[in-house]
Amino acid sequence: MTNTVLLDTIAHADLRVAIGHAARFGDAVNQCVVFPTEFEAAQRDYPIVFRRDAEGSFYAVALLGLDRDENLFLDPRGWDARHIPALHQRGPFLIGMVDRDGVSEPEPMLHVDLDHARIGATDGQPVFLPHGGQSPYLDHIVKVLRVIHDGIAMRAPMFAAFEQAELIEPVTLDIALDEETHYSVPDCFTIGPERLARLDAAALDALHRAGFLQHAFLVASSLGNVTRLIELKNRKRRAG
């Protein structure tokens, strides 16, 4: 259940939000949606693959673990990675469209879920400064939400460009931890390196002008991080 309301400087003047990462905050997941606006940061830590939603549209996910509810980057100290996906940074905040006068176009406004597990921590980060104004924490959240908002807007045209260039191909990740323990991650898609290499000058130029060529290379190279997942999984097995 959620209790999402428009964030208000008066009504929520004393609001505090717990920071850090743990299973109780919803961080124990084996994959997370990521947006084109964070591909450059995310590909340093995670394999990025594509999936299809119920309507057949593509979206991107970062692989975080191999078993259900397993985030191999999460430990008792928090989330151990250089980049934490934006959806796991935003906490209880989100952007909602508000119709102010019934005439103009609805405006994107900052909302907060008051039933979120992070809300109400006495030692949490303040959302507003004591004498008014946004706290540094809220400034950070606004930047994170912009990554999500802009990334959602970029997603459809990016995948359309990838499909136009015939770059997307299905892939099943077969992961061997040792001679006896294997994992298969089905229903994934990726950018085919060979397909990238076959692009002609016109296709390369079109992707570059659209701003999506770098994203294609980032996704293709990110699969090298599967070895990192294997290392983390084997370390967890030895410790357990």
* Residue 79, pLDDT score: 98
* Residue 106, pLDDT score: 85
Q: Whose structure tokens read 């008792």? A: 76
216/138 Cα distance (integer angstroms): 32
Alpha carbon distances (Å) from 198 to 159, 166, 174? 18, 10, 25
Angle at 53 between CA 62 and CA 231, to 5 degrees: 20
Q: Quick one: which of 227, 177, 234 has its CA closest to 63?
A: 227
* Residue 17, pLDDT score: 97
* Residue 240, pLDDT score: 73
Residue type, 122: T
* Residue 207, pLDDT score: 97
* Residue 98, pLDDT score: 87
* Residue 31, pLDDT score: 98
* Residue 153, pLDDT score: 96
Which stretches of the chain drop beneath a pLDDT of 50?
A: none
